[in-house]
Each structure stands twice: as C-alpha cells, then as structure tokens.
A and B are shown apart, each in its own frame.
Chain A
Amino acid sequence: MAASDTLAAADRAAPDHGTRRRRRGGDATYWLYLVPGTVLFVLVIGGPLLFTGYLSLTRWSGVGDPTFVGLENYQRLWTDEVFWTSFRNTLAMIVAMVVAPTVVGLVLAALLFDTIGRRFRPRTAAALRAAFYLPQVLPVVVAGIVWGWILRPDGALNGALDAIGLGALRHDWLGDPDTALPAVMGVMIWVQIGYPVVVFMAALQRVDPELYEAAELDGAGWWHRFRAITLPQIRPETFVVALTCTIAAMKVFGPIYALTRGGPENATNVPSYFAYFTFFKKLQVGYGSAISTVLTLIIVVVALLFIRAQSRAERRDGGL
C-alpha cells in the first residue's frame, strides 16, 4: 500500500506523451510484450468479473446449471436488512480506516516532523514513527486474532480494567451487539494509523524547510504553520492516502473474519464478509454475486469521483 505515494509522484512526473515523436519500429512488435499479461488478465480478472456479473442474474448453488432469474437478486437485496446493515457498517469502517487515521496521521506526522524532528534528534522521530507503523507489518488476520483474544471476556482488556480498579467496566466487548462495532473500529484505527503517518512524513521531506523558518520568523504559531504550509504542501499525498484507504475500508474482510465473523446479530457485518458467507456458507452463488457486483460498482464510482476531485484540485492549483 505504501507504494501509492511513489505512484502519485511518478504520475505527476510523467510528461504528456501525446506530443512526442513516435519511435522507429512502430507499434507492432511492442504488442507482443502485452500478450502474456493480457492472457493472464482475461483468465484471472476479466473473465471471472464478467462471469460474476452474469451469475448475479441467476439462481445457482454451485452445482448443475445456473437458472436465469433476471433482476430478482437485486430486488431481494433492496429489501434485505442485512445488506443495508453491511453497507452502513462500511461507513463506520471508513470513519475508522480513513477519517480518523488521516486526521490523526496529519497531526502526528506534523508533530513528529516539525516539532520532534527539528527540536530533538531525528532519530527520536524515526523511532516513534516505527512504533506507530509496527501494526502495519503484522498480517491483518494475525492482528485480528490477537485483538480478538484481548477483547474476550477473560482477555487482557478486562484484566487491565480489573487491575486499575475499573472492574465495573468489564464487558464482553465483541459479544455485545452494542459494543462490537466500536471495538472493531478501534482495532482498525490501531491497524491503520501507521500508514498515513509514514506517507505524510515522507511527503514532508520534500517541503522546503525555509518555508517553516520564514513562517516562524513572522510569528506564525504551530497551528498556523500546520494550516498554511503543511496541509497544502502535502495535499497530493493526502488524496492518495484517502483514496487507497477508502477502497481498503470498503473491501475489508480479514479483520472481520478473525474478530467477529460479522456478528453478533450482523452488528459488524460488512459487504465482503456478507458476500463470502452467501457464496460459501449459504451456497447462494447468484445472490452472493449480486452483493459483489453492487460492491464493485460502488468502489469504481467512488474511485472515479476521487480521481476527478484530485485532477480538479490540481487544475485549480495550476491556475493560480
């Protein structure tokens, strides 16, 4: 994931190809290099994607022939309580995996870079950054399993509450429909926070330090410098982080599987777990395909909206 900042940088660096003179040799030989990639792409992505789209119009248990039923699965989705719950929970995942980490990440990166990195040794900032990043290297399912154990009725969180005299707050955090979603959100913030911190700190490296010094000489406080320099300077990275995290939040599966399997009473169900469960536990392939197709369409639309907003912002900057 962290490659996306490289990607954005590479993208910005790419010149307009259209005006360049075409090299001798022409197109023909280069097409050959696309052959292996295209064959694999059609087999693994293109074909299955279209097939899922077709299956969403059928009733099928995975054996025998699918029965074509038109839009029946989509009509059923529209009235399915679980479907709406799962998409509402996606919003909660976006808060936990995009909004909170980006906001906290911006402030943390600015504090680490601007205050701790400059007023203490840079090594101190690097060590602190590593602590925030550590959960990101953990396989996300392993993180889910460890947290699942911490949040168990006899787990470490309740043990810690007892130890500090707050035993009255003991709770079955993941077993109670009222606390399960906030608990999962907390875990996701913990998992996610390191990514924006690392990307934003890398982005701040390319901001001219003289900007900060000049602002400080003018008497601008930390908050003013943050708003006037840090935020506008690293806006491209903020876009990339927000886009990649939003897509990750809409696709989240592993942590839900490891923590709650969507329960209790669907309180933490999300579209990808809902689709998985429908495919492989309920064996309703057509209905599962409809859920997946809706999720895919929403993701594509969100991605296109993001990209449009980004190019608009860039154009506006260019006009200044």
Chain B
Amino acid sequence: MSVTATPTGTPVTAPPPGRPARARDRHHRGAGRWIVLAVVTVGALLMLVPFAFMLLNAFKPPGQYSTEGPLSWPSEFYTEGLRAYWTQVDFPLKLWNSTLIAGSVAVLAVVVSLLNAYALGIGRVRGRLWIVGLFLLANMLPQESLVYPLYYFAKEVGLYNTRLVVIIIFTVIQSAFGTYLLASVLGTFPRGLLEAAALDGAGTWTVLWRVVLPNVRPTLAVLLVFFFIWTWNEFLIPLVMLIDNQTQTIPVALASLQGDRLMDAPTTNAGALISLVPAIVFFLIFQRTLSRGITVGAEK
C-alpha cells in the first residue's frame, strides 16, 4: 500500500500551494475521496482474507479439501473437524486453564501494581525513580533470560507443570508494567485529597482503600483487561512449564497438536477458529472498558 493513492486528488508531489493547486484540489475532491475509500477498503478486506479462509475450510469435508482445494464452497456442513479438535484437545479443560491463569494473573498483578505504585507514586519513597526505571527495564526483558532458572527452580520446589507457577510468574511480569504505569498516574494524584484524609487521622492503609482506590478504578479496569489478554496470549513460559493435558493453555495445546497427522485441514481451521472466539469476546469487553476508562478520565 503505497502513498500513490493520491488522496483528495492532489498529486503526491504536490506543487507549491497556490491558487491553481487549490482550485484543482476542490475540483477533484469528489472523486479523490472515493478513490481513497476504495483503496483503504480493499486493504481492509485483504486483512480479513485469512479469517475467510479459516471459516471456509473449518466446515469442509477433508475429501473435498484434497480434491477441490481450499477455495471451493463446502458441499456439506462438516462438523467432524470441530468435534475431533474439541475432544482430542479437551477444549473445555483448556478453556478453563487459560481462564483460570489469565484471570488470576489479572487480579493479582493489579493488586501488586497498586501496592507498589502507592509507595512509589504517593509515598514517594527515596530512590523511586531508580525503582520505577528497574520495573520499566524488567518489562522489556526477553523471557529467555529468565526461563531456564525459572524452569529449574520450579522443578526443585515441585511447582513444575502446575498452573500456580505460571500464575506467580506472570503476576510479577505483568505487575512490572502495571507498577510503571500506575506510579506515573498516582504521581499526579491530587495532594489535597490526601492531605484532607490525613487531617482526619486516616492511616496510609485507609487512604489507599478509601481515597486512592476509588479514584483510580478506571485505570485499574483497563490494566485488568490488558493483563488478562496478554497472559491469555503468552506462549514461551506456558510452553516450557505446562507439559500435560491437564494443565496446558489453549495456545500451547493448539501448537503441540501442530504437525500431528490427525490435524487435517478442517481440524486445524476449526481449532484455530474456536480458539479465536474467546479472544474476540475479550476484544469486545476490552473496547467497552477502554472507552469507559477514557470517558471517566475526561470528566474529571
């Protein structure tokens, strides 16, 4: 997609702005905007093509797939692929594992982030800039630089192949980002509110729950959704830590079936399709939470 789309009818190598250029701009604008719309729409449709392939082949009999190819319209509504994936992978269990891990991480990481950020942003403890910088760097680390020691320690303490160890690890990784973000949000917290509460004799614990928490709830909601989605999509550490059917998450289960001879085209596509459904549901929730967070912020 190059810029040659010449939006609004002005050539890319625009002549110096002057009267003739303006006149032509006006003149061509009607057609130009339709060209822009057409080009962008074609681009958007191209983005959707893989999803269309997925839908078209998830419910097509494998025999038809091998004779007529991936573009043919399904001759019947074939659900065996979906059923095979559902039972082989034990999808409900994987869905529960993913939800349990991502949900626990989201809640715990928000709590840890809030406690850290309270000390850093409101308490302004000494050396806070260094501490925040450390959290920011931790957020950028490649997980490869942590994964082997984590794997080894988890084996030593008997937490290997448990959902708990993945929950603990991602609580810390996500809260590194949460601390960084919340510490700067709380750095702008109105001091008047804090001082009024302190005059009333409220301790730091009471101030946190009665004054700070209610005010940052929209930000926490946004963080909660981000943590959930990020953890849901995580791959390396769950791949290393979770090795059997009882504990694996959806992405790990799907990836470990890859290349299996039972994974014919309909099974692969049905599997990908159904693994996509929860992601789309969160996407919708996420959009609502995010816009709510933004509006609440704007009202203040």
Q: Which residues of A contact B (CB under 8 A)?
A: 1-3, 6-7, 10-11, 13-15, 17, 20, 22-25, 27, 29-34, 36-37, 40-41, 43-45, 47-49, 51-52, 55, 62, 104, 107-108, 111-112, 114-116, 119-120, 124, 128, 131-132, 134-135, 137-142, 144-150, 154-156, 159-160, 162-163, 190, 193-194, 218-224, 247, 250-251, 253-254, 257-258, 271-272, 275-276, 279-280, 285, 288-289, 291-293, 295-296, 299-300, 303
Contact = CB atoms under 8 A, between A and B. Distances in A.
Given A3-B222, A254-B251, A33 B116 contact: yes
Nearest to A7: B181
Contacts of B229: 137
B262 interface: no
A150 B144 contact: no
B170 to A, nearest CB: 9
B44 A132 contact: yes
A62 B152 contact: yes
Contacts of B7: 111, 114-115, 222
Nearest to B41: A128
B119 A31 contact: yes
Contacts of A139: 232-233, 235, 250-251, 275-276, 279
B289 to A, nearest CB: 12
B185 interface: yes
Interface of B: 1, 3, 5-8, 10-12, 14, 17-19, 21-22, 25, 29, 33, 36-37, 40-41, 43-45, 47-48, 50-51, 53-54, 57, 66, 69-71, 112-113, 115-116, 118-120, 122-126, 128, 131, 135, 137-138, 140-150, 152-153, 168-169, 171-173, 175-177, 179-181, 184-185, 187-188, 191, 194-195, 198, 203-204, 208, 222-223, 226, 229-230, 232-233, 235-236, 239-240, 250-252, 254-255, 258, 265, 268-269, 271-272, 275-276, 279-280, 282-283
Nearest to B279: A137
Given A14-B184, A44-B169, A137-B279, A145 B124 contact: no
Contact of A147 (B40, B50, B118, B283): B50
Contacts, number: 309
Given A163-B69, A223-B10, A132 B37 contact: no
A37 B51 contact: no
Contacts of B115: 33-34, 36-37
Given A13-B188, A45-B173, A156-B57, A296 B258 contact: no
B48 A131 contact: yes
Given A3-B181, A45-B172, A253-B144, 20 more contacts: A10-B184, A33-B118, A37-B116, A41-B172, A44-B150, A45-B173, A107-B3, A119-B33, A132-B43, A132-B47, A139-B233, A139-B250, A141-B235, A142-B251, A142-B254, A146-B268, A163-B71, A221-B21, A280-B240, A295-B142
Query: Chain B binding site: helix, strand, loop or mixed by DSSP?
Result: helix
